[in-house]
Amino acid sequence: MFQSINPATGEVIAEYPPHSTTEMNDILAQTDEAQKAWKATPLSERGALLKKAGRIFMNRAEQYGQLISSEMGKIKKEAEAEVKKCARICDFYAEKGPEMLADEIIEAGFTRSYARYEPMGVIFAIMPWNFPFWQAMRFIAPNLMAGNGCILKHAPNVFGTALALEEIMLEAGFPKNIFRALLVEPDQIALALENPIVKGVTLTGSERAGMAVAGKAGRELKKSVMELGGSDPFIVLADAELEQCCQVSVRSRCLNAGQVCISAKRFFVVEPLYEEFVARHQKIMENLVLGDPTDPATQMGPMAREDLMLELDAQVRQSVQEGARLVTGGARLQRKGNFYAPTLLAEVTPEMTCFQQELFGPVSSVIRVRDAQEAVRLANLSPYGLGGSVWSRDVDKALEVAHQLETGQVFINGMTTSHPALPFGGVKRSGFGRECSHHGIREFSNVKTVVVI
């Protein structure tokens, strides 16, 4: 039995029987059959159903937010905001999908020539626990709109969310089996990818998981999209507005207890502002209210799993041994649940663990730099390239720095985030392919060229 454990209390809140491999293959076959009819459904009808799903998300934000909080520990405000964001992506693809999937006329000297965007078939998604509704809907909304069938293998600690998504799609009126959740073990994923019904796979998760799944997809000659880890740079130039910068820096690092792939993790601060940045960052961190994620007063909840908290603690301790200065935090809180103190490491250098690895928890690593050029050079030493941000009152100067960063996205004077209309994804060991925007809806579309001589 899979168990869902409340990370704030350690209590088992639900158990789920796994699907056998036979049951898994039956579900794949059922979704394949449903997709054959679904791909003929007009785009206007697909969009109308997505709109209905969006209304369900919006109307039940509190209910599903409670589910998120109990399964993985996200605080009430953030959890409900996540559910409402799912409504926005449903509305976005319902409204923009027909335009994004319209035939593309290409002038090439023939009587007529164009590219069509046709559904590939059944797409398999492997999704993480940190944004259990939003990460899944980034896959579900565009692919249902594109005419594909969707299979979700969610993280075991949020299987309640996976089953809730099934219920939402059915209640919205989507055909039975066009979207299904699989409750399977990791070793069953390879068997699913070997099944000829599965035409593509998308994964959001760790670098290690991405290597395994992308490798398997490559051997099976199946399209894949990988959204993996990140160690995003947060570059503070000499003319940055420091008060706002420090408020956002702590929010970015401690949002969702620091368990965000695209959050700022490495803070590059130019010499004149370095000491003041560290002092302000420390003060804001130490004033955060930690506690019950369902309490509206709580500003940061527990980490989702104890093993991940212990891994983070080991990375922090190793970094301190390597010479990082522990300014605040650096330990598990002595209370029930997976609570880790917001942690600030200063005097970080490129050879340290906290610079080289992704720290998936509420830990800020601050690096002293001489100028923007050194910040860019050091930022790009990371094997990851998901997102980043640059802080300066001179927007043109900030854009010049942004264009030199080896990342999939950069925000100027703001916190990195995902948005339905903007392409989302990374480079280097942060993965490949894009979610959201027109790029996301076309990732698992067959771009068919049609020519009339």
Distances (CA, A) of 260 to 191, 254, 290: 29, 9, 18
Q: 232-420 domain in CATH 3.40.50.720? A: no
Distances (CA, A) of 358 to 38, 154, 229, 233, 263: 40, 22, 7, 11, 11
Q: What are the structural domain ranges in the chain?
A: 2-228+430-452, 232-420
Catalytic residue among 90, 254, 261, 436: 261
Do the Cβ atoms of 428 and 207 come closer than 8 Å?
no
- Residue-level pLDDT, tens digit, the chain, 453 residues: 899 999 999 999 999 999 999 999 999 999 999 999 999 999 999 999 999 999 999 999 999 999 999 999 999 999 999 999 999 999 999 999 999 999 999 999 999 999 999 999 999 999 999 999 999 999 999 999 999 999 999 999 999 999 999 999 999 999 999 999 999 999 999 999 999 999 999 999 999 999 999 999 999 999 999 999 999 999 999 999 999 999 999 999 999 999 999 999 999 999 999 999 999 999 999 999 999 999 999 999 999 999 999 999 999 999 999 999 999 999 999 999 999 999 999 999 999 999 999 999 999 999 999 999 999 999 999 999 999 999 999 999 999 999 999 999 999 999 999 999 999 999 999 999 999 999 999 999 999 999 999
Q: 2-228+430-452 domain in CATH 3.40.1160.10? A: no
Q: What pLDDT digit, counting tens, does each position of 162-189 carry?
A: 999 999 999 999 999 999 999 999 999 9
Is 400 assigned a catalytic role? no
Per the prediction, the chain carries an average pLDDT of 97
Is 227 assigned a catalytic role? yes
- The single residue listed with the structure tokens 């409204």 is 95
Catalytic residue among 71, 82, 207, 227: 227
Distances (CA, A) of 251 to 19, 283, 412, 414, 425: 39, 13, 16, 11, 21
